[in-house]
Chain A
């Protein structure tokens, strides 16, 4: 990867992490179910372009923290692809945040045929996830946000297909 691209990713990650830490602390004291922490973030996609999560406000947003070195993460992703395809037209939007570098995330996204955006947080993203409720700082970690911008559910560990179906159907 070119040095410039690394610098952009690193800078964006640091900014996002700082925002997450600040907003996370504020969010906890204001309203634990408020997703404003998350929706205020911007992270680079695998091409290095900054993507604000707020662009998906109003949709049922499923934010999945994952990594290529995390087998359970990779195993649950095919069902996300399927759900995105099936419920995307009804307003469901998955977004992956890779706790990894851009090259590995991009390679894996292509291999698996991900049909939803992958943002790149690097290893700093695991700390970001901590501010969003991932107390054990392990992966996968998934956050479900309703159309009104509230966190309806967070989960550490794989989301089972029946859970995904149940949660999403209530939110759509």
Chain B
């Protein structure tokens, strides 16, 4: 084998650690969805989608906050997020005691010059009258091609 170059010694994070997703209920009508984005990594604004199960919970997603603009020669103007992204999602018909699964689809890259395929992560959020800790992301990581 040919000796590995310096880049090969770098250990990029797996996507679920580079873009850590959590969600928690602030109240029965509001879910706080959060991406903690590791240093040196970024997410594309237009690749982020949220869905909820069961669909009868009536999820409503507000416009995402403005990201940092970036010119892409192939896709034109795109926006990216670094650090963290917090979005307050609205539920119309979630009942106290119900578990809502929030599914977040995202796609991002690392400054070292790699990009991850679109990922789907999910978190189960118990709806309570008063809430505490964020829901842990589910262990299973999905992607578009699963």
Task: List CB contacts (< 8 Å) of A93-138 with chain B.
Answer: 99, 108, 111, 122-124, 126-127, 136-138
Residue of B nearest to A13 (CB): B145
Q: Does B57 contact A (CB under 8 A)?
A: no
Q: What is the total number of residues of chain B having a CB less than 8 Å from a CB of chain A?
A: 28
Q: Report whether B8 and A156 are in contact in the complex, using a CB–CB cutoff of 8 Å.
A: yes
Q: Does B117 contact A (CB under 8 A)?
A: yes
Q: Does B133 contact A (CB under 8 A)?
A: no
**Among listed A36-44, A47-55, A80-88, A157-165, interface-contacting one:** A157-165
Q: What is the total number of residues of chain A having a CB less than 8 Å from a CB of chain B?
A: 34
Q: Report whether A136 and B2 are in contact in the complex, using a CB–CB cutoff of 8 Å.
A: no
Chain B nearest CB, measured from A80 CB (Å)? 15
- Fill in one digit per residue for A145-160: 1 if any B CB lies within 8 Å of its CB, else 0: 0000001110111101
CA separation between A155 and B12, bound complex, in Å?
Answer: 12
Q: Report whether B112 and A157 are in contact in the complex, using a CB–CB cutoff of 8 Å.
A: yes
Q: Report whether B145 and A126 are in contact in the complex, using a CB–CB cutoff of 8 Å.
A: yes
Number of A-B pairs, beta carbon distance below 8 Å: 83
User: What are the residues of chain A within 8 A of B15 when measuring CB–CB?
Assistant: 137-138
CA separation between A74 and B93, bound complex, in Å?
Answer: 45
Q: Report whether B143 and A138 are in contact in the complex, using a CB–CB cutoff of 8 Å.
A: no
Q: Known contacts A139-B117, A153-B2; is A70 also within 8 Å of B109 by CB?
A: yes
CA separation between A138 and B145, bound complex, in Å?
Answer: 14
25 A-B pairs (CB sep. < 8 Å): A67-B117, A68-B74, A69-B107, A70-B109, A70-B114, A71-B74, A71-B109, A71-B115, A111-B74, A123-B117, A123-B145, A124-B145, A126-B117, A127-B145, A137-B117, A138-B12, A138-B110, A138-B116, A138-B117, A139-B114, A156-B12, A157-B8, A157-B113, A160-B7, A170-B2
Instruction: Name A residues whose Cβ lies closer than 8 Å to a Cβ of B.
Output: 33, 67-74, 99, 108, 111, 122-124, 126-127, 136-140, 144, 151-153, 155-158, 160, 163, 167, 170
